[in-house]
Structure 1
Amino acid sequence: MSLNQLTLSLQFARFDGAADHRAVLSRSKVTRWIRHALAVDAEITVRIVGSEEGQRLNREFRHKDYATNVLTFDYQQEPTVLADLVLCAPVVEREAKEQNKSLEEHYAHLLVHGTLHAQGWDHETSAEDADEMEAYETDIMQELGFEDPYAAG
């Protein structure tokens, strides 16, 4: 299988426990996970943040006053995807524990999920779109050697 090219900027904000998240998110893993979700070449910045920054960004850009797991800022979809993915580490960690998943597995899923959003996929438009996106995410995650991210854990 031929994968599309990715120019990746991987950034870590300063927050409690950042070293644990940095240890899980090597550049090679993040690159591999994102490339499996790309339909075209991309330039993507991935930023791992703490709760405060995650909440501020969600409030400013989505008008929701809480930290969420992943925010996707897509600037261009063709001919090259240009996007920023912001993942809130404490939320990702909490969700992984709640779902009985490893931190690595949950990060992989959220990076795939955010990458699909950057390419125009949307699960909030209809139940049919949500089902289609979830099925595609599941296929990608299984290609990467992970379980179905939507299966009960």
Structure 2
Amino acid sequence: MELFVDLQVVSENDHNIPSIESIEQWIQSTIIAGTSPKEEAELTIRVVDSEESQQLNGQYRNKHKPTNVLSFPFQNPPGITLPLLGDLVVCKKIVENEAQEQNKTLTEHWAHMLIHGTLHLLGYDHIDEQEALEMEALETRLLIELGFSDPYFSEKE
């Protein structure tokens, strides 16, 4: 599968953002596990500060606070097939704060958030309990396969 990731870093501080190679590995693993095989896929990841995250979260989800990751799936026009998955908007500060609060490495939490957001682009959701369990199980499997720990382990104790 050929993957195209447009990484846009518009955060004031670009330190501690994973390498494009790591990001592509995490996303490619997610696409392969979460959907039927694709020859190619394309998405944009925009790394933002709290202000932009809050503005977008308010505009699109009516939640007036910044959030870790927002997913905007691309809707193909009828009769047109494009490899676009959509856009992910990641709030760098929220991801950093959550990693610290959850006693995770920053890399581990970035991987989790990008896998989580990509699954949303693929149509997964966690609105009802059964969908949430399915999505969490897939996130856990992918993270473990990539060498990380179960992101929900401490919550299950």
Global fold match (TM > 0.5): yes
Instruction: Say whether 1:36 aligns with 2:29.
Output: yes
- Distance in 1 of aligned mates of 2:16 and 2:63: 25
Q: Which residue of 1 aligns with 2:62?
A: 63
Cα deviation code 1:19-50 (max 9, x no counterpart):
3233xx11100000100000333211011100
Q: Which residue of 1 aligns with 2:11?
A: 14
> In the TM superposition, what is the alpha-carbon distance from 1:81 to its structure 2 partner?
4.2
For these two proteins, the number of residue pairs brought into alignment is: 145
**Contact in 2 for aligned 1:81/1:119 (Cα 8 Å):** no
Classify 1:106/1:129 alpha carbon distance in 2 versus 1 (closer, same or farther; 3 Å): same
Output the TM-score relative to the length of structure 2.
0.87
| Matched ranges for 1:65-104 at <5 A | 65-76=64-75, 80-104=83-107
RMSD over aligned Cα, in angstroms? 1.6
Percent of residue pairs bearing the same amino acid type: 46
Gaps of 5+ in 1: none
The runs of at least 4 aligned residues of structure 1 exceeding 4 Å deviation read none
> In the TM superposition, what is the alpha-carbon distance from 1:145 to its structure 2 partner?
0.6
- Distance in 1 of aligned mates of 2:75 and 2:3: 14
**Contact in 2 for aligned 1:58/1:67 (Cα 8 Å):** yes
Stretch of structure 1 that moved more, 5-14 or 93-102: 5-14
- Distance in 1 of aligned mates of 2:71 and 2:105: 22
| Matched ranges for 1:129-144 at <5 A | 129-144=131-146
> In the TM superposition, what is the alpha-carbon distance from 1:79 to its structure 2 partner?
6.4
> In the TM superposition, what is the alpha-carbon distance from 1:80 to its structure 2 partner?
2.9
**Contact in 1 for aligned 2:11/2:92 (Cα 8 Å):** no
One-letter identity of the residue aligned with 1:120: G
One-letter identity of the residue aligned with 1:135: A
One-letter identity of the residue aligned with 1:137: E
